[in-house]
Amino acid sequence: MSDIVLFKLPAGFGLPSVSPYCLKVEAWMQIQGVAYTAQQGDLRKPRNKKMPYVLIDGEQVCDSHNILPRLAASTGKPMHQPQGEDKARAHAAMVIAQESVYWALVYARWTMDSGWVHLEPLVRGLLPAPLRALLIGVIRKATNKQVWQQGTGRLGPEFVWERAREDLDSLSHLLGDRAYFGGEQICDYDLGVWAPLASIHLGPPDGPLKDAVAGHANLVAWIERVDALRNPS
Ligand SMILES: N[C@@H](CCC(=O)N[C@@H](CS)C(=O)NCC(=O)O)C(=O)O
């Protein structure tokens, strides 16, 4: 049996990580019934300087899109692999969620004061006490610089929410009345969509982004369906 250690950003807002990408990997392992240990990660350690990363039998694997197939290979527990049109739909949904909706979430939590009031205490708690006051501003500024460089930070809130609404409408249409994005069984791509959408739906802040998810009954039912697989109770 492989020895698997997940390095992640901490739990928060009722989810195992405040980071959607960490949540994606941890949810995959929970659903697949993989034994692992989790530790708080240090962003200086992974080669790509991003969270999450994993050690599989001591070997560092970075980037959630790489991590899931590596976990599947080393545990012998792959998820269903959709083919053809099913795969294309699920892949397209993942790209919309990770490359676009994710940034609206980062904007809502880091850039907008209405989100930052919820996130700030959590980020503060991670910092060494003597440097907290100094570092908290530096970290927020660095993240907002990424949001600006990616493009979302240049748009202004109304346009960010409008684009997110379009993304979520598209995701709702792509899912339709299917159980999962790739068909009747959950696949890796679902987790890439689920993590940012569940973070929006289940965590703060309230507002246009959360309303845009809540406005699609099929997405809400699917978020809850995946959550139940992860966390059966
Ligand atoms: N493509 C990467 C993206 C990971 C990522 O963006 N992680 C964020 C947290 S959600 C991060 O590490 N941010 C810290 C930083 O960029 O300094 C993946 O799929 O793992």
| DSSP structure class, residue 43 | T
Residues 6+ apart with CB under 8 A from 46: 7, 53, 60, 62
Predicted confidence at residue 233, as pLDDT, reads 65
| DSSP structure class, residue 194 | H
| Residues 118-140 pLDDT 10s | 999 999 999 999 999 999 999 99
Rounded to the nearest whole angstrom, what is the distance from the C-alpha of residue 21 to the centroid of ligand 1? 7
| 86/227 Cα distance (integer angstroms) | 22
| 136/26 Cα distance (integer angstroms) | 26
Which of 9, 28, 51 gets mutated to test ligand 1 (max ligand atoms within 8 A of its CB)? 51
Residues 6+ apart with CB under 8 A from 160: 104, 107, 152
Predicted confidence at residue 81, as pLDDT, reads 98
Q: Which residues pair with 59 in a beta bridge?
A: 56
Task: Tell me the two tokens of residue 127.
Answer: 């910092």
User: In what order do the strands lie in the sheet containing 59-62?
Assistant: 37-40, 4-8, 53-56, 59-62
| DSSP structure class, residue 4 | E
Ligand 1 pocket at CB < 6 A: 9, 19-21, 43, 50-51, 63-65
Phi, psi of 226 (to 5 degrees): -65, -40
> Relative to the CA of 102, which ligand 1 atom is closest?
10
| 139/133 Cα distance (integer angstroms) | 11
Rounded to the nearest whole angstrom, what is the distance from the C-alpha of residue 177 to the centroid of ligand 1? 31
Task: Tell me the two tokens of residue 176.
Answer: 């339709």
Could you give the domains of the chain?
A: 4-75 (3.40.30.10), 84-230 (1.20.1050.10)
Rounded to the nearest whole angstrom, what is the distance from the C-alpha of residue 74 to the centroid of ligand 1? 23
Of 200, 172, 190, 182, residue with least CA distance to 229: 190
Reported as type and span, the H/E element at residue 8 is: strand 4-8
Task: Tell me the two tokens of residue 105.
Answer: 């979430």
Predicted confidence at residue 1, as pLDDT, reads 82
- Report, as ranges of residue numbers, the positions in the chain whose pLDDT lies below 70: 232-233
